[in-house]
Amino acid sequence: MAAAALLNGALAALHLENQAAAAIYGQIDAIVAHLQQVNAQQRIDVVVTGNISERLCRYGLEAATAGPNGGTFERMPRYWKWVGDFYLLGDPFNLIVSVKSFKAKERLLASGSGNLLSPTVGWGLFDQPDEFSYDRVLSYAYRGFTAIYAPAALIQALPANVAGFTNINGHALMRDLANFVPDVQHSMGANHRVNPRLL
């Protein structure tokens, strides 16, 4: 089944069809739970889950940039796809958003700029807490990741030393998907650009 049909089915089941991006993203935990239930019954193809994840992340970006300070995000050009999927205009450098689906594997770690001056945010429907060991989150920080957003169930299942791991700004590296919109809005300056030091 195509990504659009599966996602539209989830939105219909949760009575979210034709809602604004903020209302849809506000129910991200329920959407993730629904999609994980569908995946458990009949495995969704990896390409399809990737497309669904990108659409859900886009809802979050649309909601975030509709905040009081606005902001702008763009899709990465195809030739930069290995870096990430979206970028938010930043001051002085852009913020990269790398979207993955249920598994992080090495693909998430290999994405991004690898530079703290142009940090990366990981966003995914991750469902395996053991992919996020202390050594792995240390590697994400080393690769210039400012945050990794994951479902609430995964965040709650992390060991204390991983859940408490902080980024270069002193904030949690591992974060609930529900915090994505307010975090981006908080980091958006009056100049309509992300200040990575606030993430």
CA dihedral over 163, 168, 171, 173, signed as positive or negative: negative
Distance between CA atoms of residues 77 and 84, nearest Å = 9
What's the pLDDT tens digit per position in 27-47? 999 998 888 888 888 888 877
Q: Hey, how many other C-beta atoms are within 10 angstroms of the C-beta on 168?
A: 15
3-class SS of residue 108: helix
What's the pLDDT tens digit per position in 180-193? 999 999 999 999 99
Cβ-proximal residues to 75 (8 Å cutoff; 6+ apart), any chain: 85, 86
The half-sphere exposure of 121 on its side-chain side, counting CA atoms within 13 A, is 30
What's the pLDDT tens digit per position in 131-142? 999 999 999 999
CB 107 within 8 A of CB 134: no
What's the pLDDT tens digit per position in 60-71? 999 999 989 999
Please name every residue paired with 87 in a beta bridge, in sequence order, or none if there are none. Answer: 74, 96
* Domain regions of the chain by residue span: 3-57, 73-198
Say which amino acid occupies 141: A
Task: Tell me the chain's radius of gyration from C-alpha atoms.
Answer: 16
pLDDT on residue 139: 94
Q: How far is CA 100 from CA 51, 95, 129, 161, in A?
A: 9, 16, 15, 23
User: Which residues of 37-112 form beta strands (DSSP E)?
Assistant: 73-75, 86-88, 95-100
What's the pLDDT tens digit per position in 48-64? 888 889 999 999 999 99
